[in-house]
């Protein structure tokens, strides 16, 4: 970072920004514009100028950015501790009184998750049909809320003791917390797997057809395995896992991310493409209604406070999930590429 010693605005500076060429008068006008102190005709004229002068536009942008950095200089004040729990209560109150309208955020698996269809899913025939089934989804939405706010510690504090006893808050709240715990378990299991010294997998296979024999805790058939197409990722192997009380199979995939610096790495050379690849954990879980309520025909997405992303869905007998550190749209598109073999 270079030191800038001379603050005079009209001093010629390093030529890397186009704002250097502007006259001082124009720059003051730009500052006035950002500060909102121009008279309306002035502002209009300035707008006109800006539309013709990219340097001026850049100047305005840079001044806006500088202004927005001001709060970082504020003395650091923290809200009282109660504020945190008040927010959670407010979130739950909202959930309890929520309508089902937000169901539109959950797309059925046969639809593109990213599709920006203006038709709310909840008003489609399928949506209506699913409504009753999906009452719990309010809880699913709570995942988004909770994840957004990162109420990890709070939940542990609240739930730790109460789970062990028979204390029952409202049913809704219990469900929400359990849903949350499911997601939390998934992200933890994924991250623990990544930290394993011996790598994320317990067994390796030559072909996916060998997987069912390796699965310990519950029976799976080849047809139900969540297998990514070879073009999407390389199967590193699998592990038997337990997420709370839920038994599961975790398949670890190496997925190459198209970074601009590298051509698509060959799937045969995982070691040379480390920086461009990601481990994606693909889970097949035995449904545990308490932990993962029934959410047929929907993908649920969640971004955990640590950045881990999860896409979860249910088909027939199993719950499936993808967990990785990828943007949700990419993870969602991987989820959609999983087909029964």
Partner 1 sequence: MLYDRYASLVYSIALKALRSVSEAEDLTQEVFMILARWQSASEGGPRAYDPQRGSLAKYLTTLTRSRAIDRLRSRTTYRKYLDRWSHTQTAMDLATPLSDATKQERRALVVAALSTLKSKQREVLELSYYEGRSQKEISEQLGVPLGTVKSWARRGLLQLREKLRDQLGDEPQ
Q: Which residues in 127-186 contact partner 1 (CB under 8 A)?
A: 141, 144-145, 147-153
Per CB under 8 A, contacts with partner 1 among 264-323 are 299, 301-303, 305, 307, 311
Q: Among candidates 164, 157, 137, 135, which has minimal Cα distance to 88?
A: 157
- 73 is a contact residue toward partner 1 (CB under 8 A): yes
- 61 is a contact residue toward partner 1 (CB under 8 A): yes
Q: Choose which of 57, 111, 158, 232 interacts with partner 1 (CB under 8 A).
A: 57
Per CB under 8 A, contacts with partner 1 among 205-224 are none
- 44 is a contact residue toward partner 1 (CB under 8 A): no
Alpha-carbon distance 177 to 91, whole Å?
13
Q: Of 49 and 58, which CB lies nearer to partner 1 in the complex structure?
A: 58
Work out whether the CA dihedral 316, 297, 288, 285 comes out positive or negative. Answer: positive
Alpha-carbon distance 146 to 326, whole Å?
20
Alpha-carbon distance 119 to 141, whole Å?
19
Per CB under 8 A, contacts with partner 1 among 229-248 are none
CB of 27 to partner 1, least distance (A): 6
Alpha-carbon distance 308 to 261, whole Å?
24
Work out whether the CA dihedral 120, 121, 122, 124 comes out positive or negative. Answer: positive
CB of 315 to partner 1, least distance (A): 18
Per CB under 8 A, contacts with partner 1 among 85-114 are 86-87, 90-91, 94, 102, 105, 107, 113-114
- 79 is a contact residue toward partner 1 (CB under 8 A): yes
Q: Choose which of 329, 337, 340, 341 interacts with partner 1 (CB under 8 A).
A: 329
Count of H-run helices and E-run strands, the chain = 10, 6
* Number of residues engaging partner 1 in binding (CB under 8 A): 73
* Residue 238, token pair as written in the block: 């699998």
């Amino acid at each position: 970072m270079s030191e800038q010693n001379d603050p005079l605005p009209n001093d010629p500076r390093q030529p890397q920004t186009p704002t250097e060429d502007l006259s001082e008068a124009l720059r003051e006008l730009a500052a006035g514009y950002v500060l909102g102190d121009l008279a309306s005709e002035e502002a209009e004229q300035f707008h006109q100028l800006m539309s013709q002068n990219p340097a001026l536009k850049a100047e305005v942008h840079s001044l806006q950015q500088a202004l927005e950095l001001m709060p970082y200089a504020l003395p650091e004040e923290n809200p009282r501790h109660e504020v945190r729990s008040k927010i959670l209560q407010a979130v739950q109150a909202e959930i309890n009184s929520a309508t089902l309208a937000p169901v539109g955020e959950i797309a059925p698996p046969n639809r593109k998750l990213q599709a920006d269809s203006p038709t709310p899913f909840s008003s489609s025939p399928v949506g209506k049909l699913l409504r009753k089934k999906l009452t719990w989804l309010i809880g699913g939405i709570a995942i988004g809320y909770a994840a957004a706010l990162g109420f990890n510690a709070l939940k542990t504090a609240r739930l730790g003791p109460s789970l062990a006893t028979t204390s029952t808050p409202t049913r809704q709240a219990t469900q929400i917390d359990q849903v949350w715990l499911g997601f939390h378990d998934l992200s933890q299991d994924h991250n623990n797997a990544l930290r394993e010294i011996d790598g994320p997998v317990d067994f390796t296979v030559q072909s996916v057809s060998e997987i069912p024999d390796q699965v310990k805790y519950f029976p799976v058939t080849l047809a139900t395995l969540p297998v990514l197409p070879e073009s999407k990722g390389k199967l590193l192997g699998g592990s038997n896992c337990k997420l709370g009380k839920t038994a599961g199979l975790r398949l670890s995939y190496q997925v190459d991310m198209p970074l601009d610096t590298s051509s698509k790495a060959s799937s045969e050379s995982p070691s040379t493409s480390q920086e461009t690849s990601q481990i994606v954990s693909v889970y097949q879980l035995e449904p545990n209604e308490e932990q993962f309520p029934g959410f047929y025909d929907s993908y649920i997405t969640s971004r955990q406070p640590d950045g881990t992303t999860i896409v979860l869905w249910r088909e027939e007998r199993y719950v499936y999930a993808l967990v990785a550190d990828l943007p949700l749209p990419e993870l969602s598109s991987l989820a959609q590429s999983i087909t029964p073999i």
